[in-house]
Amino acid sequence: MNSIVRCFIVLLGLVMSTPLWALAPDMKVASHVVQIRGIHPDGRSYFGSGVAVSKDRVATNCHVVRSGGRVAVFRGGEAYKATRQQVDIIHDVCVLEVPGLPVKAAPLESIQHLKVGQALAFYGYPRALGLSFSEGKLRRIKAMAGIQIIETSTFFTLGGSGGGLFDRQGRLVGLATFLAPGHAGGYFAVPVDWVKSVEKAPYQAIEPLQGLSFWEAKEADSSLISGPEGAHKH
């Protein structure tokens, strides 16, 4: 058997041993994910990602919509206005009310059922571009400022905030939230358990939000990484 044939067989074996889920995004999972765009009262624009979690409701990070102004959810080239919100600034979870949004809610999975090493996938709209998909694994469940968060090797970047972190069954386990400087310390997500709590909170108008989340506080930096730079939003 010559070297070319042997190489082909090895490559074929690698492809066949790779789960299909690892080769391409699952469009059913992707259908739960939306892009969020906002216009600050002073005219500046901002963007992020979100996930439908119940009828006419989209979960995202509060730091995505912190500036208030006009906020819209985009799906399939159509824009849907966010009319009000439910807020938990400490846990960095906001739920937007988006009447008429034709997006089915993602099934949710509690942090209590996650296991170190399990496969996870990110779906979101980084850099205000089209849908992005990446894969990784759960590194650990980490406590920061007394709050449990998910650390993963699953890549996401600017604009990915509020995007979904899903397990192999297509269940939403967390919202992509922040990453360590230089990506050296991993990627971090708040668990969906907080989404359920926020949905019980009173509604607020879409307006600028005050306060800092647990990971933005100065005391959170040293618990994230050993270096001096602290955490970065994306």
Mean of per-residue pLDDT scores for the chain: 83
Residue 172 near residue 106 (C-beta atoms within 8 A): yes
Top-tier CATH class for 27-104+196-211: mainly beta
pLDDT classification of 14: cutoffs 50, 70, 90: very low
pLDDT score recorded for residue 182: 59
Q: How far apart are CA 62 and CA 74, in angstroms?
A: 17
pLDDT tens digit sequence for 22-80? 557 899 999 999 999 999 888 889 999 999 999 999 999 999 999 999 999 998 889 99
More confident residue, 215 or 127: 215
More confident residue, 12 or 217: 217
pLDDT classification of 226: cutoffs 50, 70, 90: very low
Side chain identity, residue 144: M
Average pLDDT over residues 122-130: 84
pLDDT score recorded for residue 127: 74
pLDDT score recorded for residue 147: 86
Based on C-alpha coordinates, what's the Rg of the chain?
A: 19
The CATH classification of domain 111-193, taken from the options 2.40.10.10, 2.40.37.10, 3.40.50.1980, 1.20.120.430: 2.40.10.10
Which residue has tokens 């730091």?
Answer: 63
Chain centre distance of CA 161: 5
Residues 6+ apart with CB under 8 A from 25: 121, 123, 131, 133
Which regions of the chain carry the CATH code 2.40.10.10?
A: 27-104+196-211, 111-193
| Inter-CA distances, 35 with 46, 104, 124, 161, Å | 11, 15, 7, 10
Strands of 76-195, DSSP E:
78-81, 84-88, 93-97, 119-124, 132-144, 147-152, 164-166, 172-179, 187-191
| Count of CB atoms situated within 10 Å of the CB of 136 | 17
| Count of CB atoms situated within 10 Å of the CB of 226 | 7
Looking at mean pLDDT, say which of 93-97, 156-160, 219-223 comes out highest. Answer: 93-97
Structure tokens at 146: 């007394």
Side chain identity, residue 228: P
Three-state secondary-structure class, residue 221 = helix
**Phi–psi pair at 178, nearest 5 degrees:** -155, 170
Q: What totals of helices (H) and strands (E) does the chain contain, helices first?
A: 4, 15
Quick one: CA torsion of 148, 110, 178, 70, rounded to 10 degrees?
Answer: -120
State yes or no: pLDDT of 19 exceeds 80.
no
pLDDT tens digit sequence for 165-192? 999 999 999 999 998 765 565 899 999 9
Q: How far apart are CA 186 and CA 135, in angstroms?
A: 13
Residue 173 near residue 167 (C-beta atoms within 8 A): yes
pLDDT score recorded for residue 62: 97
More confident residue, 200 or 186: 200
Nearest CA among 160, 142, 162 for reference residue 150: 142
